[in-house]
Amino acid sequence: MDHGNPVAMPVAIEDAEGDLATRFAAIARSLLSAPTVAEVLRRVVALAVDTIDGCDFAGIMLPEPVPRTPLRTAALVTDIDQLQRDAGEGPCLDALGGLNSVYAHDLADEPRWPRFGPRAVAGGVRSVLAYRLSAGAETVGALNLYAALPAAFGATDRAKGLIFAAHAGPALAVTQTRAADHDQAEHLRQALASREVIGQAQGILIERERITADQAFDLLRRASQHLNVKLREVAQDVVDTGVAPPSDTGQRPR
């Protein structure tokens, strides 16, 4: 199975002479300054391993359209997450389902996930911490921390994980919203550009073919269907060449 390239480790954040609050403030700034969703995901998983002492590997599971793991620090994470999806149970799925945090100190002795637990142990994981990533009431993902040893996450690690997840969830949500807004603006720009080109092509056809605006649009539409290309591309060709497009009948519109 091709797992792609794991995230390079670690991401440097100044420890500020052991001041935990200052360190998490720096982490928050790093996450919020990420320019893309892919980059904020990369920073979350890399910083999680760097920040949580007991964590050997980390990944993020996103809920839609089907739970998936777009980024992780090791290929093993992809396998373990897939085991959960195949079994239909596991700490990461529980976090996506609404639990704020899920801890398994030893999957070899864990009754909550009888199908997933033994398979994860066979895959090299004994301890798991999963955190729901949220923005308000919305679940935007799950941060999943894995360790090869049992009982790897102490009370301090679990507390750090909660704080980390509290920063990571809003940062991911903000970046996703920003990306969606950018996509919407780009789609609107393309729609306006297409409308302008089609209007220009209609004007050329009206003048050259002595037809109405409706007939010109119908000619463009039928040419688009006949050539199996987008209407905008047909219109752009008319604008570029000044030549009427071929239709399915080769006749002028009536």
Provide DSSP, 109-145: G-TT-TTHHHHHHHTT--EEEEEEEEETTEEEEEEEE
Q: For the domain that residue 33 is a member of, what is the CATH number?
A: 3.30.450.40
What CA–CA distance (Å, rounded) separates 146 from 55?
Answer: 6
* pLDDT at residue 183, as a whole number: 60
**Does residue 128 share a domain with residue 108?**
yes
**Does residue 236 share a domain with residue 167?**
no
Express each pLDDT in 69-85 by its tens digit.
886 888 899 999 999 99
Domain boundary among 181, 198, 219: 181
Output the six-digit token pair for 202: 């209609």
Domain count, the chain: 2
- pLDDT in single tens digits along all 254 residues of the chain: 334 456 554 454 544 445 776 777 887 787 777 788 888 888 888 888 988 999 999 999 988 766 778 868 888 999 999 999 999 999 999 999 999 999 999 999 999 999 999 999 999 999 999 999 988 888 999 999 999 999 999 999 999 999 899 888 888 888 877 766 556 666 767 767 778 888 888 888 888 888 888 888 888 888 888 888 888 888 888 888 888 888 654 444 44
Q: What are phi and psi of 82, to 5 degrees?
A: -65, -35
pTM, to two decimals: 0.64
**Does residue 193 share a domain with residue 152?**
no
Q: Kindly state whether residue 77 falls inside one of the protein's structural domains.
A: yes
- What amino acid occupies position 115? R
Express each pLDDT in 24-48 by its tens digit.
788 778 777 778 888 888 888 888 8
Q: For the domain that residue 201 is a member of, what is the CATH number?
A: 1.10.10.10
Q: Kindly state whether residue 9 falls inside one of the protein's structural domains.
A: no
Q: Kindly state whether residue 75 falls inside one of the protein's structural domains.
A: yes
CA distances from 176 to 26, 76, 97 (A): 21, 26, 20
Q: Decide: helix, strand or coil at residue 227.
A: helix
Q: Kindly state whether residue 57 falls inside one of the protein's structural domains.
A: yes
* pLDDT at residue 10, as a whole number: 46
Residue among 151, 88, 143 nearest 125 (CA)? 151
**Does residue 151 share a domain with residue 80?**
yes
**Does residue 205 share a domain with residue 174?**
no
* Residue range of the domain that includes 223: 188-241
Contact 46, 148 (CB under 8 A): no
Domain boundary among 136, 166, 181: 181
**Does residue 204 share a domain with residue 166?**
no
**Does residue 196 share a domain with residue 85?**
no
**Does residue 198 share a domain with residue 91?**
no
**Does residue 157 share a domain with residue 32?**
yes
